[in-house]
Structure 1
Amino acid sequence: MTYPVPANELERLAVLENLDLLDTPQDPALDDLCREAALTFDAPVALITLLDARRQWFKSRVGLDICETTRDASFCNYVVAQDVVLIVPDARQDSRFASNPLVVGPPHVRFYAGAPLYYGDGIRLGALCIIDQRPRAADEIDVPTLRHLADRVAGEIWVRQAARSAEHQRV
């Protein structure tokens, strides 16, 4: 599979690496926001995803047992590369995703909605997304609310990085 890549991919990957978020323990505040997204949109699955060069890693997850996928299977690539809130009402009917292993096999994604996680000017680390195993209408998603939740996730990431930087300066 091919997927879009943002023009600033090298800078984006460097920022993600410097944040040292990948493969870190769960974070209660981010887990709460992930649960809030699932409840707000009545979605069985909600994820806070981070995209590195080869994989999509879930910093937080509700309703999904796996903690990562290959990057080429990630719907979030489109959110990160195109700087959009992406809504896919039925992935089986969308040529970008119809043959995706996450659509044709477990977890059988049908509906997807994702908003970018911004970190600085033009840097999108990943997405806050919700998933359902049944198709849903695009108008079931209040885009401003999804964006707001994604911005709150990004704010939590920013706060943790600021605290980490302050700690390093004290040492």
Structure 2
Amino acid sequence: MQEPALPANEDERLQALRQLLILDTPPEERFDRIVAFAAQEFDMPIALISLVDAQRQWFKARVGLDAEETGRDVSFCAHAILTDETMVVPDTAHDQRFADNPLVTGGPGIQFYAGAPLKLPDGQNIGTLCIIDQQPRTLDRVDLAILASLRDLAVEELVRREAHDTPPEDKKGDTA
């Protein structure tokens, strides 16, 4: 198993993730709808919005997986955030990065993975929208475009959530 490398901008990436104030928050329907649609659209048993923290990947939304997080060292998504392109692993048994990964050899038995990086407006990849199957699969150009569109919706919701949930600036000098 190949552990994922750290992005060159890891400190800035983690700061951007923490500023969202989203880690360890309760489920939210807006994110749950996105993963439910992804699982249905691609006929996949597992779909996740995964956020990659310093030591773990935490799932903001999930379908088909009971775990709330896994270690970053075994995370497929930690590999996917290293690029801006969707990472597709058609058959984990034939990919030396993942063939002996415990998420492949044990539960949930990942055989296919596609993860589209969640890139914030400031350029930081903080996680992925990913779809997972227990059998090898492929995606065509149209599938990749749909996954990218769903990823864009997830990013829009993250940004909207941050704008809505961030306390307003201190308004010194305002008189009411």
TM-score, scaled to structure 2 = 0.91
Partners of 1:140 and 1:43 in 2: how far apart?
17
Whether the aligned pair in 2 keeps the contact of 1:119 and 1:154 (CA below 8 Å) is yes
1:24-39 paired onto structure 2 within 5 Å: 24-39=25-40
Q: Which residue of 2 aligns with 1:81?
A: 82
Give the AA of the match of 1:107. Answer: P
Partners of 2:75 and 2:141 in 1: how far apart?
22
- 1:92-133: per-residue Cα shift (whole Å, max 9, x none)? 110010011100000000000110111123201100000000
Give the AA of the match of 2:13. Answer: R
Partners of 2:102 and 2:142 in 1: how far apart?
24
1:88-99 paired onto structure 2 within 5 Å: 88-99=89-100
Give the AA of the match of 1:87. Answer: V
Whether the aligned pair in 2 keeps the contact of 1:88 and 1:111 (CA below 8 Å) is yes
State the 1:137 CA deviation.
Answer: 2.3
Helix, strand or coil at the partner of 2:54: coil
Runs of 4+ in 1 over 6 A off after TM superposition: none
Q: Which residue of 1 aligns with 2:69?
A: 68
Structure with the higher helix share, 1 or 2: 1
Point out the more displaced range, 140-149 or 41-50: 140-149
Q: Which residue of 2 aligns with 1:153?
A: 154
1:135 aligns with 2:136: yes
Partners of 1:87 and 1:45 in 2: how far apart?
15
Q: Which residue of 2 aligns with 1:110?
A: 111
Point out the more displaced range, 55-64 or 3-12: 3-12
Q: CA RMSD in A?
A: 1.6
Give the AA of the match of 2:122. Answer: D
State the 1:139 CA deviation.
Answer: 3.0
State the 1:141 CA deviation.
Answer: 6.7
Give unpaired runs (5+ residues) of structure 2. Answer: 172-176
Whether the aligned pair in 2 keeps the contact of 1:41 and 1:141 (CA below 8 Å) is no
Number of matched pairs: 170
Whether the aligned pair in 1 keeps the contact of 2:83 and 2:117 (CA below 8 Å) is no
- Flag the structure with larger Rg: 2
Helix, strand or coil at the partner of 2:82: helix
Whether the aligned pair in 2 keeps the contact of 1:6 and 1:82 (CA below 8 Å) is no
State the 1:169 CA deviation.
Answer: 3.4
Partners of 2:169 and 2:97 in 1: how far apart?
46
Identity %: 48
Change (3 A) 1:145 1:138: closer
Q: Which residue of 2 aligns with 1:168?
A: 168
TM-score, scaled to structure 1 = 0.94
